[in-house]
Amino acid sequence: MEEAGNEKFLSRRRSAALKAFKVKDERVATFKKVAAILQKSERDRTAEETGILVSCSDVVKEVNLRQEKRHRVKARLEEVEDAPEILEEKCMRLAAAISRATSLAVYTGAGISTAASIPDYRGTNGVWTRLQQGKDIGNHDLSQAEPTLTHMALYALYKARVLKHVVSQNCDGLHLRSGIPRTLLSEVHGNMYVEVCRMCKPYREYWRLFDVTEKTARYSHGTGRLCHRCNSGLQDSIVHFGERGNLPWPINWNGATRAAKQADVILCLGSSLKVLKKYPWLWQMDRPIHKRPSLYIVNLQWTPKDENAVLKINGKCDEVMKRIMAHLGLEIPQYNRAKDPIFFHAVRLRNNEQHTTSQPCLEEPSNIVHKELNQINENFHEDVSTETKEEECVSSKRVTESMSAYSAPFFTALPFLSMGLPFPPMYMCPQLTPFFYYPFMQVPDMTSDVPKPKPTCIFCMENEGSLTCLYYQRDADNSNLIGPESKQIKDTKTLVIHSDPPIAAKNPGWFGKGYRKGMKKKR
């Protein structure tokens, strides 16, 4: 009896499942039939087909909605350019907004590097698009790429003190090579020329002349080389889809967050914004609409932020930036390989590391003699720590001696005592006495005894006029090096990160999860 009952129960379940499958198959067949009928013109439809459309009105509505959705998706993927007169008008408006901006932040995507023969990501012939279509993405030698007109225009805006920060999704390192300091740059997806040692504290960076991602992949970031300080394995800085970027440099999420809070104008160049839209703090979404920074977008395709933008320009980045810089009256400098910081700051491979890569190296300029530069730079680091301390002691002694030579007599304080002033008399401050009581006397020139500060990086001093290194801080302490090649350290230059005050690296999480958790804790 029990077996018969089980068989009846199973048969009922099978019949119910078969019935559901039949209903689904019938509905799918109806959808196909209605879609085929709708593709015909009304004149070509038979009476029977017209009757089917009338009887299946709900199916007709759903088919029409699906077709409209497909058309919208196709339209968003199309690259559209504005007419020349419309483009000129929009560029004038954007130039006016940049000229009025007190803090300009720029978010860049792959579209600014297409002029350097680097394919974009989601364009009509982009890497993502070709992968979705099952096509080959081809081989692209990124070592031949150089900063484009857009990169150099952003560098000119930085020199004019208009640009405050750049948030880049590109891994090509062209922003850094154009001359923008790393403190003003957030490469949120990493840099293909940078590998790091995570065991050193702070993280130790090595800027190379070749693509360091030859042997790396998602969740596998070892490059096959070792740190010159601790002999730990080096890793690339690339952030793949689904990973979290928690390196303080070159990702620099802290700098991107601060720049977004201070920005009053945000300019997006060549980015589809399909990834950046999911980081709400970059757009200050927790603020009221009227207090958010003004958004301007330059892209050939549709972006999910078009509705929030003050102005959307459909044009190529180089053409748009050329017009904008002309309206601003700023000259775009030409890229000069001799002034490319990567050739001066990069760490060369040692003899026992030559086999770790087969990637082509960047072609170095012929007018740079690296051995001489390395030797001069090392001499700087050996002398700076001792000479500056001695000169500071001597200069402070000379200043105090020269100032104390003009001590004021006691009677000079009597007028202040008779007035009953609450502050102490001047004879208690002999450093200020000569300027107030002896203006006719010639005070010796103390500036000649003050030593001039020495630059920490020759390249940054000669090309940027900076006493500190704008790209990487060099380390002169080579006493803790491990390995047989520690004696040959003069042949290489090891680079160390020295960030601004030691702040705990903010881990935003993937697609804003960390941000939302932080907001919940605040509330």
Determine if residue 230 is labeled as part of a ligand binding site.
yes
- Rounded-to-integer distance, Cα 180 and Cα 341, Å: 10
> What is the set of active-site residues?
189
Determine if residue 227 is labeled as part of a ligand binding site.
yes
Determine if residue 200 is labeled as part of a ligand binding site.
yes
- Rounded-to-integer distance, Cα 300 and Cα 316, Å: 7
Write down the residue that tokens 């030859």 correspond to: 214
Determine if residue 197 is labeled as part of a ligand binding site.
yes
- The answer to whether the CB of 266 falls within 8 A of the CB of 203 is no
DSSP helix/strand/coil, 24: helix
- The answer to whether the CB of 480 falls within 8 A of the CB of 199 is no
For 266, the enclosing helix (H) or strand (E) is strand 265-269
**H helices within 334-423, ranges in order?**
341-345, 370-404, 414-419
Q: Is the peptide bond before 502 cis (omega within 30 degrees of 0)?
A: no
**Order of strands, sheet of 104-108, starting from the edge strand that comes earlier in the sequence:** 185-187, 163-168, 104-108, 265-269, 294-298, 311-313
- Rounded-to-integer distance, Cα 370 and Cα 377, Å: 10
Phi/psi at 225 (nearest 5 deg)? -110, 165
- Rounded-to-integer distance, Cα 274 and Cα 259, Å: 20
Binding-site members for Zn(2+) are 197, 200, 227, 230
